[in-house]
Chain A
């Protein structure tokens, strides 16, 4: 248990500090890197409560794919971030109020759960006693929450198709490589042996 406690405090401290640094870092690329660190240590916290599948998904999906795109965009953008920051002091007070309210709510909820359990009266479990975390999540997703799961899939599919439709343009003037056409091309399609008379050349 001591190891667990050490790991918990270490990773939650890293998560909180890097979360703070995301907001305060001067360089936007550094912000994204701190964000990745926060994701990563949050995945560590998931492992600690036994939700290993969620932890790995967090790393594969958010750190491995989404954050890479963030980093791409931030690196490519040519924005003067010092100009963006000029109004920082003006927004500080309302921002602090919102943050305090959010923190108060979180603390209230955490206290309520630790004293009385969640609304259903049960503490959330990482897995059933007779199955691993992956099996439990799979079972729950495809039985209890099958409809919601499929609906979420459809929403994502629609979003994907929408993005493709919005960006797809058929430009006729672009030359494209058609590998099937290249490979299936035969000699007689391209080369013809023509007898040429000397001094006259070939008549087209």
Chain B
């Protein structure tokens, strides 16, 4: 009885809930500092100082902002659909964190190691559009509605190219399990997917030529999918004031914002796992005889480091690149990314079948 408790239904539930809580708390706390880092990078590019008052170097700025938001009054517009209006930010928030369930942080450090991890991520991120479209509609006002529609069209468009880019990675790995995808890239940087995953022979040059552009395209699509600049048309402040968020205030707005940033960090984690070797260092460290706990820790820190690196890329793009026009955004998604990624799928599939023959 004692030994079996953790394998039984109650024990399993307790363990899973604790794991989920650990992941959520970890992501939430790192979000506070990533948000600060985002603003610091942005300020640095524009030669400002950025947040520097609350705490050392302004490190606790996000917590101050958090309390400011929470203590404000929740304003619900008179004509709003109350239930949907409040459900929308909750949905965004919950979905952004639900996706983290399948992200492996280090070998075996994953809440749910499912076989369709990649599809799960795609599904959850395609659900994210509902938070925005519901928020835009329920506000019962023109600007949020237009912002919501724009955003929905944008996210649906770029999901298509993200899906095809994911297929290239799946073909290269032969698995939809995220842990398997990472394990396929072990032993060094020449095995990472953005270099084609098999640079040990001459044949590996073919996926190299395809996969590197795929990584760049995934990064750009991730920007569009998370409504980040230069694709932040849903909230374009010069035309739409703040898009679907116009009528939101205090905690509901905070939920929207946290969900948005959780999605951005999730995209960074996805690039890391799919293209950038996951938790593996650029060189093999298996032979050094480290104890298991130390190895796990090194892997975890490597993973976090890579995610932070990609987040800095997101922050830099926000600061440097000017905003796209809406028709240019649609052109890029449908006329450039979709055909190119489709071609990449064909090439990688052919490489998988005939790669040994060449």
| Interface residue ranges, A against B (CB under 8 Å) | 2-3, 27, 29-30, 33, 36, 52-53, 55-57, 59-60, 63-65, 68, 71-72, 75, 132-134, 177, 179
Contacts and interface: CB of A to CB of B under 8 A. Distances in A.
B123 A29 contact: no
A63 B116 contact: no
Interface of B: 9, 12-13, 81, 84, 114-116, 119-120, 122-124, 126-127, 129-130, 133-134, 137, 145, 149, 152, 156, 159, 163, 176, 327-328, 331
Contacts of A2: 9
B161 to A, nearest CB: 14
B149 A72 contact: yes
30 contacts: A27-B81, A29-B81, A29-B137, A30-B84, A33-B84, A52-B115, A52-B116, A55-B116, A56-B122, A56-B123, A59-B123, A59-B126, A60-B123, A60-B163, A63-B127, A64-B123, A64-B129, A64-B159, A65-B126, A68-B130, A68-B133, A68-B156, A71-B152, A72-B149, A72-B152, A75-B133, A75-B145, A133-B115, A134-B176, A177-B327
A3 B13 contact: yes
Nearest to B130: A36
B115 A64 contact: no
Scoring B123, B129, B133 by chain A CB atoms within 10 A of each residue's CB, the highest score goes to B123
A60 B12 contact: no
Given A29-B137, A59-B127, A68 B152 contact: yes
Q: Is the interface of A mostly helix, strand, loop or mixed?
A: helix
B126 A63 contact: yes
Given A52-B116, A72-B149, A60 B137 contact: no
A52 B114 contact: yes
Given A3-B12, A29-B137, A60 B129 contact: no
Given A59-B126, A64-B123, A71-B133, A132 B13 contact: no
Contact of B134 (A27, A33, A72, A133): A33
Given A52-B115, A75-B133, 7 more contacts: A3-B9, A33-B84, A64-B156, A64-B159, A65-B156, A75-B149, A134-B115
Nearest to A2: B9
A3 B133 CA distance: 34
- Would you list the 3 A-B pairs with minimal beta carbon distance, nearest first? A64-B126, A56-B119, A59-B123
Contacts of A179: 331
B91 to A, nearest CB: 10
Nearest to A4: B9
Given A36-B130, A68-B156, A60 B115 contact: no
A72 B151 CA distance: 12
Contact of B127 (A29, A33, A64, A72): A64
B119 A53 contact: yes
A41 to B, nearest CB: 13
Contacts of B134: 33
Contact of B119 (A30, A57, A177): A57
Contacts of B114: 52
A65 B122 CA distance: 12
A65 B129 CA distance: 10
B219 to A, nearest CB: 21
B131 to A, nearest CB: 12
Contacts of B126: 59-60, 63-65
B166 to A, nearest CB: 11
A134 B122 CA distance: 16
A183 to B, nearest CB: 13
Contacts of A27: 81
A9 to B, nearest CB: 15
B116 A56 contact: yes
Contacts of A33: 84, 134
A37 to B, nearest CB: 10
A131 to B, nearest CB: 10
A2 B11 CA distance: 13
Contacts of B176: 134
B187 to A, nearest CB: 25
Scoring B12, B115, B331 by chain A CB atoms within 10 A of each residue's CB, the highest score goes to B115
Contacts of A59: 123-124, 126-127
A148 B13 CA distance: 43
Contacts of B331: 179
B129 A134 contact: no
Contacts of A177: 327-328
A3 B114 CA distance: 18
